[in-house]
Amino acid sequence: MLGFFKNKSKEIIIYSPCKGKVVPITEVPDPTFSEKILGDGFAVIPSDGKIYAPADGEITAVFDTLHAITMTTDKGTEILIHIGLDTVILKGEPFTAHISAGSQVKKGDLMIEADIEKIKAAGFNPITPILIGNTEKYNKITLIKEGEAEPGDEVLSLS
């Protein structure tokens, strides 16, 4: 090998963690997310409550209220999945976790189930931001799909 591509960064793909409508992170009706205070990414307006792993990696935290999880992918990408806005107030009621901190997951593994109807009935928006916590590690973060998506669809490109 001549080493021509030694320093060329490889593209990393983040997949949709749920079925629903993918929207840019800037469309989340909460400035903490839309202004990218916690990182860049995208959001899904879920049509069902099943949240799957968007990549292979390790679960680094599951919030006590089960409304959010963090993971680090096998490629070092730090991801926060936040199910709904202000859903921490629900104290875990509409959520069932299938993983815990330290769990190893493969893309597509079921991680959390959320009762979307209970979230809506309680007056909360179920929009689910998916954020890249270590955005500074990437030169370019590109939303490659908007609109209806299935779990496992390619949504975000990091390079």
Of the candidates 82, 103, 111, 141, the residue annotated as catalytic is 82
CA-to-CA distance for 15 and 105, rounded, in angstroms?
A: 13
Question: 18 in a domain, yes or no?
Answer: yes
Question: 73 in a domain, yes or no?
Answer: yes
CA-to-CA distance for 55 and 17, rounded, in angstroms?
A: 9
Question: 2 in a domain, yes or no?
Answer: no
SS3 83: coil
Question: 16 in a domain, yes or no?
Answer: yes
Q: Residue 51: name the closest of 95, 117, 2 by CA.
A: 95
Question: 1 in a domain, yes or no?
Answer: no
Question: 5 in a domain, yes or no?
Answer: no
- The CATH number of residue 74's host domain is 2.70.70.10
For the segment 20-76, what is each residue's pLDDT rounded down to a tens digit?
999 999 999 999 999 999 999 999 999 999 999 999 999 999 999 999 999 999 999
For the segment 27-37, what is each residue's pLDDT rounded down to a tens digit?
999 999 999 99
Number of domains in the chain: 1
CA-to-CA distance for 70 and 82, rounded, in angstroms?
A: 9
As a whole number, mean pLDDT of residues 110-117 equals 98
Domain that holds residue 31: 12-158
Q: What are phi and psi of 55, to 5 degrees?
A: -170, 170
- Residue 98 bears catalytic tag: no
